[in-house]
Amino acid sequence: MFIRTENFRQFLRLYPIISIIIAIHIILWLLIFLSLPFGTTLMQHMIGFNFLIAEGEYWRLLSPIFVHSGFGHMLFNSFSLVLFGPALESMLGKFKFIVAYLLTGVAANLATFYIEPLEFAHVGSSGAIFGLFGIYLYMVLFRKDLINQMNSQLIMTILIIGLVMTFINSNVNIVAHIFGFIAGAIVAPIVLPKTSGQPQVIMTRSTSYRPRVRLPRQFTPKHILWIIIIILVLLGIFL
């Protein structure tokens, strides 16, 4: 689910929404951090500043999802999308994926607006990324037909690391992470397919005909390498 085997062209063709979001990340970072006058003004108008949201600049509930505080921030969030987004874009479809991504990101920013003080300002897509994690957790708990045991264990590991790092790092928007995650779990039953696709399940001969997820026989060195990469990327979100 999280191991990428596509080349660049295949990735663009198979996951156009994720590709567009990452392209927006990169373009905005180039405009802002190359110190172009237009980029500086753009950053000032996109940052999630609670005081200005209270003054009626409601687009700031959406715009912070696409801008970041630096190259490392942008890189790790974008790479997180590369790892955790494709399975959901493929499963949900383009429209439902972008709706779920933006809705959870806005929910995270809306919670930040109501809970944090007026002088609080923030940027970054981690609230929306935690929304994806919320969808995955719903699958682990309630839709086992959509996710196998190995990926379920990996998701739980990711969530534990994410929860711990959220509370021990002072630079993290705790409210956005928590409420983005909750929003993802809430929208999951709405956007997830009602039944699993045929390639993901095999049928047994029991009278109940309960679908059973096909599990990998064992972790290969490739799986272990990707798990290490995923954990490092997840840790990088909190830098």
Specify the amino acid at residue 208.
S
Q: Residues 177, 196, 206, 208: which is the catalytic one?
A: 177
Q: Is 177 a catalytic residue?
A: yes
Residues of the chain by 3-state class (helix, strand, coil), percent to 5: 70, 5, 25
Residue 230's CB is within 10 A of a number of other CB atoms, namely 20
Q: How far is CA 199 from CA 73, 95, 145, 196, 212, in A?
A: 36, 22, 11, 9, 11
- 49 sits in which H/E element: strand 48-49
Q: Which residues contact 29 (CB under 8 A, 6 or more apart)?
A: 67, 68, 71, 74
Q: Is 73 a catalytic residue?
A: no
Q: What's the CA gap between 123 and 193, in Å, rounded?
A: 31
Exposed, middle or buried: residue 235 (CB in 10 Å: 0-12, 13-18, 19+)? middle
Q: Residues 63, 80, 125, 126: which is the catalytic one?
A: 126
- 141 sits in which H/E element: helix 126-142
Residues with a known catalytic role: 126, 177
